[in-house]
A = this chain, B = another copy of it.
Amino acid sequence: MADPDGFELDPRLAADTRRVGDLPLSRVLLMDDARFPWLLLVPRRAGRVELDDLPRAERITLLDEIDLATRALRALVAPDKLNVATLGNVVAQLHVHVIARFRADAAWPRPVWGVGERVPYAPVEATKRIARLRDHLGLS
Using a CB–CB cutoff of 8 Å, the interface residues on chain A facing chain B are 49-52, 56, 59-60, 63-64, 66-67, 70-71, 81-90, 92, 101, 108-111, 113-114
Contact = CB atoms under 8 A, between A and B. Distances in A.
A85 B82 contact: no
Nearest to A50: B82
A82 B66 CA distance: 18
Nearest to A88: B81
Given A52-B71, A60-B63, A111-B111, A89 B84 contact: no
Which 7 residue pairs spanning A and B have beta carbons closest together? A85-B85, A89-B109, A83-B87, A90-B109, A84-B86, A111-B113, A63-B63
Nearest to A79: B50
A86 B83 contact: yes
Residue among A67, A81, A89 having the largest count of chain B Cβ atoms under 10 Å: A89
16 contacts: A50-B70, A51-B66, A51-B67, A56-B67, A59-B63, A59-B67, A81-B88, A83-B85, A85-B86, A85-B87, A89-B108, A89-B109, A89-B110, A110-B114, A111-B113, A111-B114
Contacts of A111: 85, 87, 89, 111, 113-114
